[in-house]
Amino acid sequence: MAKFFYLETFGCQMNVVDSEQIVDLLGRVGYQQVDTPEEAGLILLNTCSVRDKAERKVYGHLGRFKPLKDQRPELIIGVGGCVAQQEGEKLLEKLRYVDLVFGTHNIHRLPEMLAGVEQEGRRRLETEFLDADTRRALFPERSVSDAVTRFVTIMQGCDNFCSYCIVPHVRGREISRASGEILAEIRDLTARGVKEVTLLGQNVNSYGLREAGEMSFAQLLHAVHEIDGIERIRFTTSHPKDLSAELIACFGGLPKLAKHLHLPVQCGADPVLAAMNRGYTRAQYLEKVAQLKEVCPEIRLTSDVIVGFPGETEADFGETLALVEAVRYADIYSFLYSPRQGTAAAELAETLDPKDKQARFDRLLEVQQRISGEIWQGDVGRVLPVLVEGASRQGGAQLFGRTTWNRIVNFAGPAELIGRVVSVRITTALKNSQIGELEMDEVRAAS
Ligand code: SF4
């Protein structure tokens, strides 16, 4: 008899990939995914603890499911991801209607845990970290899909311990997946029609460094570039301190590598960067940006910036603004600093009141919005290669795809173009996407 599950995912791409693994595992034991919790016999939340007050939000969110459990006591409710890792037993103690809690290293155990709950009615908790060899053997193969673009996990965990970040505490130490396995998976994906891969890890730039005899990340990019059928390669996330000369050179020498790099700076002032334990100075960061622009003049950078880290002075913030002006990021993701329990920075006293923090945030946003507007508006009138990913949400005969800079472009065109790189003239730049027109020779080729 078919069983139905409902899954909600919060947070970053790592969680999205973990959720795909969950869908795959549950499919193998006879579960089908549904769109509403009301239809499901199993409700799962894959949680994220990066954002402010994440634990509290998860508790609040789970509360929505309690009435369903009251009506249907056989309903199984489970929590995974970073908050589950962090809270562990506390979650089961506080919420009597939650049946299972699984950590970031325990996703593969979900079917067994579920069987325990279903058959014995026992509540289950598994949050222990696994050793590196066991984890290496457990990198998930991606489930089959008809997507044009896929994430491929190449490493897990992080050893950097940036002082504000919870990730090393909830995802464990850094391990790299064997390059042979990664390349085999990508070959398999291309055979199924995938045209673009995004190599994924918390800090892909240090890929292979801790594994004897393994390739460097730059060498891995070269090997992926050799695979027939791959049209475009992306990767995320990059730590500036591990952005090697060899890797920078890839942007000049590998045509399939997208001309976009997300290179989180976090702050433009050295004292704050040191307090964040970022491992680079402002000058070192800017030097790497200059090298990137030299080997690849068309490259566009995006970044993360934290505003109001403890000790950030007005002068420090001014340095951040100046750096943002100097680099001219295509976009930034800016965050108001807030402490994460269990991190080193949580011990530091906050030095800015919330109003001043918000005022700095707003100033940064204003600067970035101007720069982003100029950059995206500058594409209007240009004909750009766009990898077509599918039917647009706009409906009708609209398609959507992405430029090399990871910008979504919506345009009219036939479905036969899905999976192809086509030439699109950009006609309008919106805040988060662009609108374009297919070049006439593309229309003729498709008809
Ligand atoms: S590099 Fe720093 S910010 Fe990124 S996941 Fe690791 S500790 Fe967190």
For tokens 């549904």, what's the residue?
34
DSSP 94-111: H-TT--EEE-TT-GGGHH
- Find the 12 Cα to ligand 1 centroid distance in Å: 13
Q: Which two tokens stand for residue 129?
A: 């970290």
Residue 371 Ramachandran class (φ > 0 left, ψ -120 to 50 alpha, else beta): alpha
Nearest ligand 1 atom to the CA of 168 is 7
Q: Which CATH class is domain 383-446?
A: mainly beta
CATH dotted code for 131-258: 3.30.750.210
Would strands 196-200 and 149-153 be described as parallel, antiparallel, or unpaired? Answer: parallel
Mutate to test the pocket of ligand 1, among 104, 158, 305 (most ligand atoms within 8 A of CB): 158
Mutate to test the pocket of ligand 1, among 167, 239, 343 (most ligand atoms within 8 A of CB): 167
**Burial group, residue 242, by CB count within 10 angstroms (0-12, 13-18, 19+):** middle
Atom 4 (ligand 1) nearest CA: 202
DSSP 215-237: PPHHHHHHHHHTSTT--EEEEE-
Q: What is each CA distance from 404 to 202, 203, 259, in whole angstroms?
A: 22, 21, 6
Q: Using CA atoms, how far apart are residues 319 and 312, in angstroms rounded to an integer? A: 10
Q: Which CATH class is domain 3-128?
A: alpha beta
**CATH 3.40.50.12160 domain span(s) along the chain:** 3-128
Query: What is the pTM assigned to this prediction?
Result: 0.91
Mutate to test the pocket of ligand 1, among 12, 175, 202 (most ligand atoms within 8 A of CB): 202
- 81, 11 contact by CB (below 8 A): yes
Q: Considering all CA atoms of the chain, what is the largest pairwise distance in Å, rounded to the nearest integer?
A: 65
- Find the 339 Cα to ligand 1 centroid distance in Å: 14
- 200, 152 contact by CB (below 8 A): yes
Looking at CATH, the fold of the domain delimited by 262-377 is given as Transcription Regulator spoIIAA (3.30.750)
Q: Using CA atoms, how far apart are residues 108 and 117, in angstroms rounded to an integer? A: 16
Residue 289 Ramachandran class (φ > 0 left, ψ -120 to 50 alpha, else beta): alpha
Q: Express each pLDDT in 84-122 by its tens digit.
A: 998 899 999 999 999 999 999 999 999 999 999 988 888
Nearest ligand 1 atom to the CA of 161 is 7
Q: Using CA atoms, how far apart are residues 124 and 102, in angstroms rounded to an integer? A: 8
Q: Using CA atoms, how far apart are residues 270 and 340, in angstroms rounded to an integer? A: 22
Nearest ligand 1 atom to the CA of 171 is 5
Q: Which residues line ligand 1 (CB under 6 A)?
A: 158, 160-162, 165, 167-168, 202-203, 239
Mutate to test the pocket of ligand 1, among 164, 200, 203 (most ligand atoms within 8 A of CB): 203
Q: Which residues of 87-191 form beta strands (DSSP E)? A: 100-102, 124-126, 149-153, 155-156, 175-176
| Phi/psi at 296 (5° precision) | -145, 80
**CATH 2.40.50.140 domain span(s) along the chain:** 383-446
Number of Cβ within 10 Å of residue 329's Cβ equals 23
**Closest Cα to residue 198, out of 402, 443, 434, 427?**
402
**CATH 3.30.750.200 domain span(s) along the chain:** 262-377
DSSP 323-386: HHHHHT-SEEEEEE----TTSGGGGSPP-S-HHHHHHHHHHHHHHHHHHHHHHHHTTTT-EEEE
Nearest ligand 1 atom to the CA of 237 is 4
Which residue type is seen at 204?
A: V
How far is C-alpha 135 from the geometric centre of its chain's CA atoms?
20
- Find the 337 Cα to ligand 1 centroid distance in Å: 15
**CATH 3.30.750.210 domain span(s) along the chain:** 131-258
DSSP code of residue 266: B
pLDDT (tens digit, 0 to 9) for every residue of the chain, 447 residues total?
679 999 999 988 888 889 989 999 999 999 999 999 999 999 999 998 877 677 778 888 899 999 999 999 999 999 999 999 988 999 999 999 999 999 999 999 999 999 999 888 889 999 999 988 888 888 876 666 678 999 999 999 999 999 999 999 999 999 999 999 999 999 999 999 999 999 999 999 999 998 899 999 999 999 999 999 999 999 999 999 999 999 999 999 999 999 999 999 999 999 999 999 999 999 999 999 999 999 999 999 999 999 999 999 999 999 999 999 999 999 999 999 999 888 999 999 988 999 999 999 999 999 999 999 999 999 999 999 999 999 987 777 899 999 999 999 999 999 999 999 999 999 999 999 999 999 966 655 555
